[in-house]
Amino acid sequence: MILKNKKMHVDRCGDGQKGLETLKNSMAGYYDIVLMDVRMPVMDGYETTRAIHELEREDLKNIPIIAMTANAFEVSSQLFSLSFDRGTMLWNV
C-alpha cells in the first residue's frame, strides 16, 4: 500500500459501521485523516461521514474525510452537498 510505504500507520475497516466504531474507540487525536469509500456495506460513506461529524468528540467532529469512489459522476452532487454543509472543498482528479 502506498501510504504504508511512506511510513504512515494505516487501519483498514471493511465497512462503515466498523470504521465508525474504530474511530469512536480510538484515543483523542489518534487519527489525522479518514479515507472514505462512498460505497461500503452496512453503512455507506455518506451515513458514516454524518455519524462521525455528529460524535461528541471535538477531534472527530472536524477530522478531514476524503471521500473516494469509482463512480465519480453518479455521486459527485451528493458529495458536494455533504462537503458544502461541512465547509469543505472537494476536488475531482
Question: In the prediction, which pLDDT does 89 show?
Answer: 41
36 contacts 67 by C-beta, under 8 angstroms: yes
User: 93: which strand partners?
Assistant: none
Q: What is the CA radius of gyration of the chain?
A: 13
**Could you report the per-residue pLDDT of 5-38, keeping only the tens digit for each?**
777 788 888 888 999 999 999 999 999 888 888 8
Cell of 87: 465547509
Question: In the prediction, which pLDDT does 36 show?
Answer: 85
Which of 77 and 20 is assigned the larger pLDDT? 20
**Could you report the per-residue pLDDT of 38-68, keeping only the tens digit for each?**
888 888 888 998 999 899 999 988 888 888 7
Closest C-alpha among 6, 67, 1, 61 to residue 31: 61
What are residue 68's phi and psi, to 5 degrees?
Answer: -130, 150
Cell of 40: 461500503
CATH architecture, domain 2-86: 3-Layer(aba) Sandwich (3.40)
Is residue 78 very low, low, confident or very high in pLDDT (cuts 50, 70, 90)? low
